[in-house]
Amino acid sequence: MIVAEQKPIGQVLDMIEPFEKILVAGCATCVTVCSTGGEKEVGILASALRLACAARGLKKSFDEITLTRQCDPEFIEPIKEFASQHDAVVSMACGVGVHFMAEHLPPMPVFPAVNTVFIGANPELGVWVERCAMCGDCILDKTGGICPIAGCAKTMLNGPCGGSNEGMCEVDPETPGAWARIVERMKQLGTLDKLDEIQPPKDWSTSRDGGPRKMIREDLKL
């Protein structure tokens, strides 16, 4: 799931400075589940912005809405008219949502209120961890189910590097090195010999290096 975190409120205040009627728009999918941009957070951010503006003597009004998903045009369609009654939209969705709102609403500024940080898991309340870097060519079969692209600071394909210290990463001694974990896991699985095979340089064209990605399924397309 996409994990996002809220921007400092000062940044949001700067973005909306020239505008009076603001719509704060949440998204009821990923950012709700990671407690960043769902209905509750929309209410909190809108209230905080109202208080901040009142304290600065700024005359602004804030409306609130939470869409089922900001990444599907069908959910944006019904709020178009309501949105157009405002001068600007502050979106609490991930970058995709901000983008899609800007693309599909009538021409008006759409500002991001959150930073999209990674796609990850939520092992316990209040903790999120990155597990996949979306490289577009999964190699988890070769590394015991632990990703060296997402898990290693250097995205090394043949590790560990010399900076690994008692299994911990040199970038952050609190972080277990992905390669130490890979070796441990593959020992456990009895497949350590697979690591003898040297991995050739990865084809990064399936990742961001190949430019913006697009996927088309002809079988589904109408």
Partner 1 sequence: MAETSNTEGSVLVVGGGIAGMQAALDLVESGFYVYVADSAPAIGGHMAQLDKTFPTNDCAMCTEAPRLVDVANDLNIEVLTLTDVLAIEGEPGNFTVHLRKRARYVDEIRCTGCGDCIAKCPVKNLPDAFNLGIDNRTAIYKLYPQGVPNVAVIDAEHCLKLTKDKCGICERVCQAKAINYEAQDEVVTVHVGGVIVAGGYEMSESGTRSEYGHGRYANVITGLAFERYLSASGPTNGHVVRPSDQQTPKRIAFIQCVGSRDITSRGNGYCSQVCCMYSTKHAIIAKEHEKGVEATIFYIDLRAHGKGCENYYISAEKDYGVEFIRSMVPAVRENPADKSLTLAYLGGDGERIEREFDLVVLATAMEPSPGMAELARNLDLKLDDYGFIRTQETDPIATSREAIYAVGLSSGPKDIPDSVMQASAAAGRVGAIIASARGSRLVEKTYPPLEVIEGQEPRVGVFVCHCGINIAGVIDVEALAEYAKTLPGVVHSDHIMYSCSPDGLDTIRSAITEHKLNRVVVAACTPRTHEPLFQETLREAGINRYLFELANIRDQCSWVHSADEARATEKARDLIRSAIAKAALAEPLYTVPISNTQRCLVIGGGAAGMTAALTVAGQGYGVSLIERDAELGGHLRSIRTLLGGDAPQELLADLRRRVDEHPLVDVHLETTLKEISGFVGNFKSVLATNGSTTEIEHGTIIVAAGAKSYEPTEYLYGENARVVTQFQLEAGLAGGTLPIDDGSTVVMIQCVGNRTDERPYCGRVCCAQAVKNAIAIKEKHPRAVVHVLYRDLRVFGLYEQYYLAARKLGVIFTRYDDDDPPKVSAGDKLSVTVNDLVRGEPMHISADLLVLSVGVVADEAHEALGMQLKVPRTSDGFFLEAHVKLRPVDFATEGMFVCGLAHFPKMLGESIFQAQAAAGRALTTMSQEQLTASAVVAQVEPEMCKQCLACVRSCPYNVPKMTHMHYVQIEPAECQGCGICVAECPAKAIQLRRFTDAQIMAQAHAVMNET
Tokens 């870097």 appear where?
133
Which amino acid is present at 157?
A: L
* Plot region of 166 (φ>0 → left; ψ -120 to 50 → alpha; else → beta): left
**What does the alpha-carbon distance between residue 163 and residue 182 come to, in Å, rounded to a whole number?**
16
Q: Do the Cβ atoms of 80 and 68 come closer than 8 Å?
A: no
Which residue lies nearer to partner 1 by CB, 15 or 49? Answer: 49
| Closest distance to partner 1 from the beta carbon of 47 (Å) | 11
**What does the alpha-carbon distance between residue 20 and residue 68 come to, in Å, rounded to a whole number?**
26
Q: In the range 89-128, which residues lie near partner 1 by CB under 8 A? A: 122, 124-125
Q: Which residues pair with 5 in a beta bridge?
A: 115
Q: In the range 21-40, which residues lie near partner 1 by CB under 8 A? A: 28-29, 32-36, 38-40
Task: Determine, following the binding rule CB under 8 A, whether residue 41 of this chain makes contact with partner 1.
Answer: yes
Helix (H, G, I), strand (E, B) or coil at 151: helix
- Number of residues binding to partner 1, judged by CB under 8 A: 15
Task: Determine, following the binding rule CB under 8 A, whether residue 65 of this chain makes contact with partner 1.
Answer: no
| Closest distance to partner 1 from the beta carbon of 141 (Å) | 29
Q: In the range 125-144, which residues lie near partner 1 by CB under 8 A? A: 125
Task: Determine, following the binding rule CB under 8 A, whether residue 198 of this chain makes contact with partner 1.
Answer: no
Instruction: Name the site residues for partner 1 (rule: CB under 8 A).
Output: 28-29, 32-36, 38-41, 43, 122, 124-125
